[in-house]
Structure 1
């Protein structure tokens, strides 16, 4: 087995353990490369079928091509696709683009609060009806007690403090200093009632590993990651008011890999183009302690 084989096997093992150990779990799909690789691994883990609902938090400020890509793949792969939102904050224009709050508060409202209340079933969420191809109100409203996330330890500082199975309290607050040890592939999966679990199958993958695996498996990703003729592309995807493209002429996966190995991005942080990270002191720990993805 080469290094990618070992990473793949570990991730599939974590996915199967999560499905076996926890009831009412879902998987976050941000539509980016990491969570799309996670989705691909889930299809491998469960032999082409994904028995876990996919959840996307729609801020309504995502780059339009991201939503188009989400729905196209959800229909093609027959995914149980759900999205949630903070409709109250959007209606009251409590957003950074509307000029009424700063970036961190906007993330807190449109992402963190929307995620917590979508997972709990307290707020409306919408599910893709494969018969009509449209989203309809999800009437089940069941509480998701665990969520699988495409977090990588190398992506930014606070993520390096995560575990494969990372507990939160019932409010999704994260006690960074109180994480279970994980030695020799021994994982804690028995938690007190009311504990919310975040599961991170990609924790030991790097950005380079992700792109090498995308190349090897020929995984479809959104074209936003590639230069489409203007010498720019996105390296990390998010809301368009706070996510900026990088100068790059990489037009395919192989050229991105070369940039990461020895080119211009070999020693530059992946999320350098994410403005909310800079507002949080160069990381996301403040937001993540409160339940951010």
Structure 2
């Protein structure tokens, strides 16, 4: 096996292990490249079918093309697609674009809190009706006891402290120092009642690995990652008021890989254009301890 084969096999093993060990499991899908690769791996792990719901947290400020891409793949791949949103914060304008929150406070409101309340079922969930093509209020309010996440250890500092099976308490708070060790592919999956578990199948993948795998597998990726003729593209996707483009003429996956391996971005952090990272001193650990993705 080559390097990508080994990564793929380990990720598929973790996905199957998670599915066999945890009831009422969900998978987060941000529509970015990492979670889309994770979704692709899940389709491979379960022979073309994803046997668990895909959860997307809509902040109300996502780039429209991301939502279009989400719904297009959800229909084509017959995904059980669900989204959650902090409707109260949007109605009260408690967001950064409305000037009533810092970047971090906005992330806390629109991402962290929305994620926690969507996962525990205390806030409304909206499910895609494949017959009508519309999202409808979901009757199922049962909490998700575990969630599969497309985090990578090399993406930013706090993610490097995660485990493949990472425990959160009943409030979704992350106690970094209390995580169990994981040696020789031996994973702890028997947690105390009330524990919420985050599973990270692509934790050891790098940004280059992700793009080379996208290239090899021909995975459909939102076109925001590529230059559309204006000499710029997105390297990391998020809310449009807080995510900047980078100067780049990479028009396809092959050119993105070249930029990352030997070009202008080979020594520049992936999330360099994310405003909330800078506001948090270059990391996201304070947000992640409280439940951020």
What TM bracket, shorter-length normalisation? over 0.9
- Report the alpha carbon displacement of residue 38 of structure 1 after superposing the two structures with TM: 0.2
Match of 1:127 in 2: 127
Match of 1:58 in 2: 58
Distance 2:25 2:69 in 1: 24
Distance 2:103 2:148 in 1: 25
Partner SS, residue 286 of structure 2: helix
1:177-196 matches, within 5 Å, as 177-196=177-196
Number of equivalenced pairs: 293
Distance 1:102 1:260 in 2: 31
Match of 2:102 in 1: 102
Match of 2:198 in 1: 198
1:197-216 deviations in Å (ceiling 9; x for gaps): 00000000000000000000
Match of 1:241 in 2: 241
| Length-normalised TM-score, structure 1 | 1.00
Match of 2:149 in 1: 149
Structure 1 runs (4+) greater than 6 angstroms displaced: none
Distance 1:205 1:102 in 2: 31
| Length-normalised TM-score, structure 2 | 1.00
Distance 2:198 2:170 in 1: 12
1:175-213 deviations in Å (ceiling 9; x for gaps): 011111000000000000000000000000000000000
Gapped regions of structure 1 (runs ≥ 5): none
Distance 2:243 2:283 in 1: 15
Distance 2:129 2:283 in 1: 38
1:212 maps to 2:209: no
1:285 maps to 2:272: no
Distance 1:286 1:201 in 2: 23
Q: Supply the RMSD in Å over aligned alpha carbons.
A: 0.3
Match of 1:113 in 2: 113
1:85-100 matches, within 5 Å, as 85-100=85-100
Distance 1:162 1:226 in 2: 30
Partner SS, residue 202 of structure 1: coil
- Report the alpha carbon displacement of residue 142 of structure 1 after superposing the two structures with TM: 1.2
Partner SS, residue 194 of structure 2: coil
1:236-261 deviations in Å (ceiling 9; x for gaps): 00000000000000000000000000
1:62-81 matches, within 5 Å, as 62-81=62-81
Partner SS, residue 228 of structure 2: coil
Distance 1:109 1:291 in 2: 11
1:251 maps to 2:251: yes
1:36-70 deviations in Å (ceiling 9; x for gaps): 00000000000000001000000010000000000
Match of 1:2 in 2: 2
